[in-house]
Structure 1
Amino acid sequence: MEKEPTLVVMAAGMGSRYGGNKQIDTITEQGDIIMDFSLYDAWKAGFKKAVFIIRKDFEETFKKHIQPGAATKLEATYVFQDINDIPEGFSIPEGRTKPWGTGHAVLSARDVIHGPFAVINADDYYGTHAFKIIYDYLKDHADETHYCMVGYKVENTLSENGTVNRGICREENGLLTDVEEHYELGRAADGENKGKIVGRNESGETDVIPEGTPVSMNLWGFSPEYIQVMKKGFEDFLRKEVPENPLKSEFLLHHCADLQIKAGEAGIQVLPTDDKWFGVTYKEDKPEVMARFKDMKEKGIYPEELWK
């Protein structure tokens, strides 16, 4: 088993709310995309390898950006997420076009992950501190079967231009006990909850989410054994959940870890950060994001040319 942590980048999505391939939409005058800053932060934190999960039809465009940039500092490997990549004995439901979810995306990299690994979204900015704490944790626990997650304060993950979906986390003594997806999170504009953060839980009820509550931004860390756990979990998902919702059910990255927590088979360390997430969830987010990156470059947080 390798002990050096690998960064796994989920970049196969289309960004339906934004419209188009937002993963390669430039946000600086130098031609950087949001992912460049995450890759730069990961490299500075100590990561030496990156695995990019992409679509086959996106390969040429994606590599054209990565190879002369981040790939000059990080060893880059590319794998493809394909809806047809399912275990023998299963079939794709008629009419299904939706990808299988973030868990399936990471399973696409099962043959190239040989040690501890961190997982990020391609189109989110996570902050410099987040990569440092997750790299150090994975490095320090390389010989253990243990997982971790960077926990962001919910108020640091909202968009001013629309609602967002987030995994609301509960923890005890620093360990994650539960993750519940919440939808349409944002600050209430009026009513008794005006100014408070509200969203719909998995039962469709409205919850008020206290500020400071940790949320998952899909910045997870796993020991390599989790790949085998997900293999079995994906088969269970196809067998039990897909028949109930054949066109839209999703196999999420933390699905198996959540089951392991409840069964007492695993612990997930929550690594708290005050870093502020931001990204281009909506087209209206882009001008603000561009201004933030320009400001960080002017302040010297990032060099003007990231990869030179």
Structure 2
Amino acid sequence: MSRNASPTLVVMAAGMATRYGSLKQIDAFGPNGETIIEYSVYDAIRAGFKKIIFIIRQSVEEEFRRVMQNKFPDEIEIDYVLQELDNLPDGFTVPENRVKPWGTGHALWVAGQKIKEPFAIINGDDFYGSTSYAQITQFFQQENAPAGCLVGYQLVNTLSDNGAVSRGVCERDENGFLKSITEQTHIQDTPEGIVAQTANGEILKLSGCEIVSMNLMAFQPEVLAYFEEYLIQFLEKEAHQPKAEFFLPTVINNLVQENKIKVQVIESGEKWFGVTYPADKPVAVQNLKKRIDKGIYPENLWNNTLETADLA
């Protein structure tokens, strides 16, 4: 497949949404029942993406397909991948005490067999902003582009007013390439400023200007060959731990640290928003309404002629 082929969007929508309390991937946020995923797909199509792959669980497949069916333009290819616990490399079985999905890195490994083109991957419950997808398309059109890119957001633009969040803090070199991603947990905006709690309970002060990963990344398909190797290593070491997860940022961090790939960090000027907690929903609904009022999106997302970006 040509490096200049139209890119594919991979949407991770198999999470269990335990803190949200319902299936947020298909919850209505737009004025006509649109999901957050639909706005992401709309933005990607406008930026030149021609194929969408949804990663979902079998238990929600029927309902998910019902919500998404007959919405997208005919020229857009739609495909589905089921991420289940027993989707594992040969020789591995699911431990008896395992209930939690294996994580975002596992999701991409499962989808890998269907990805033949340059691709971007996103969380299904996050809103990244229309310009972020255009930045990825432009990245793929660069001559001698590296193997991948990560669209990062200023930490202050990714916080929730309704609870602590975890974020992957990115370190860049002088040329704008990723040096590392460090997962910081329990990040909150407090009266004393933005703080994170480290694994050993220490409080770490953050400026808010740090660039963080929200799992909006893009790669050439050749990068997928590394995922099975890392997944096997993870399963050999941690499969017995019921809550251990194989995270996408961890894989990318390892690939960068081992000098196997170069990843360009692209800073987005967009304000990210997402839904982790039920109280996040009204904020997300209002954020979308503001964008509709500004003319960024039509009132009814799929009833208008969709103009794709001419970025060639």
Shorter-normalised TM range? over 0.9
Please give the per-residue CA displacement for 1:4-26, whole angstroms capped at 9, x wherever unaligned: 21100000012111111011110
Deviation at 1:204, TM superposition (A): 4.0
The residue that corresponds to 1:240 in the other structure is: 237
CA distance in 1, matches of 2:164, 2:96: 32
CA distance in 2, matches of 1:201, 1:262: 22
The residue that corresponds to 2:133 in the other structure is: 131
Unaligned runs of 5+ in 2: 304-312
CA distance in 2, matches of 1:266, 1:28: 38
CA distance in 2, matches of 1:254, 1:163: 19
The residue that corresponds to 1:113 in the other structure is: 115
Choose which of 57, 60, 63 in structure 2 pairs with 1:61: 63
CA distance in 1, matches of 2:268, 2:28: 27
CA distance in 2, matches of 1:26, 1:265: 41
**Counterpart code for 1:275:** E
CA distance in 2, matches of 1:72, 1:167: 36
Please give the per-residue CA displacement for 1:98-139, whole angstroms capped at 9, x wherever unaligned: 111101011111211012110001111101111110122124
The residue that corresponds to 1:298 in the other structure is: 293
The answer to whether the Cα contact below 8 Å between 1:104 and 1:234 also exists between their aligned partners in 2 is: yes
CA distance in 2, matches of 1:268, 1:279: 24
1:208 aligns with 2:205: yes
The answer to whether the Cα contact below 8 Å between 1:117 and 1:138 also exists between their aligned partners in 2 is: no
For the residue of structure 1 that corresponds to 2:215, the secondary structure is strand
1:218 aligns with 2:215: yes
**Counterpart code for 2:232:** E
CA distance in 1, matches of 2:129, 2:149: 17
Unaligned runs of 5+ in 1: none
The residue that corresponds to 1:154 in the other structure is: 155
The answer to whether the Cα contact below 8 Å between 1:145 and 1:225 also exists between their aligned partners in 2 is: no
CA distance in 2, matches of 1:205, 1:278: 27
CA distance in 2, matches of 1:202, 1:74: 44
Deviation at 1:94, TM superposition (A): 2.3
* Matched residues, number: 300
Runs of 4+ aligned residues of structure 1 deviating over 4 Å after TM superposition are none
Deviation at 1:59, TM superposition (A): 1.2
1:286 aligns with 2:281: yes
The residue that corresponds to 1:198 in the other structure is: 195
For the residue of structure 2 that corresponds to 1:43, the secondary structure is helix
Deviation at 1:71, TM superposition (A): 5.5
CA distance in 2, matches of 1:274, 1:94: 45
For the residue of structure 2 that corresponds to 1:276, the secondary structure is coil
Choose which of 180, 183, 186 in structure 2 pairs with 1:181: 183
CA distance in 2, matches of 1:72, 1:63: 16
For the residue of structure 2 that corresponds to 1:197, the secondary structure is strand
The residue that corresponds to 1:231 in the other structure is: 228
Deviation at 1:88, TM superposition (A): 1.5
CA distance in 2, matches of 1:160, 1:182: 17
Give the alignment's TM-score, normalised by structure 2.
Answer: 0.92
CA distance in 2, matches of 1:84, 1:144: 36
The answer to whether the Cα contact below 8 Å between 1:149 and 1:268 also exists between their aligned partners in 2 is: yes
The residue that corresponds to 2:47 in the other structure is: 45
Deviation at 1:74, TM superposition (A): 2.6
Choose which of 249, 252, 258 in structure 2 pairs with 1:254: 249
The answer to whether the Cα contact below 8 Å between 1:8 and 1:51 also exists between their aligned partners in 2 is: yes
Stretch of structure 1 that moved more, 217-226 or 250-259: 250-259
The answer to whether the Cα contact below 8 Å between 1:181 and 1:202 also exists between their aligned partners in 2 is: no
Deviation at 1:145, TM superposition (A): 5.6
CA distance in 2, matches of 1:44, 1:102: 26
CA distance in 2, matches of 1:215, 1:277: 11
Please give the per-residue CA displacement for 1:149-206, whole angstroms capped at 9, x wherever unaligned: 00100000011111111111111120111111111111123xxxx1x11112344432
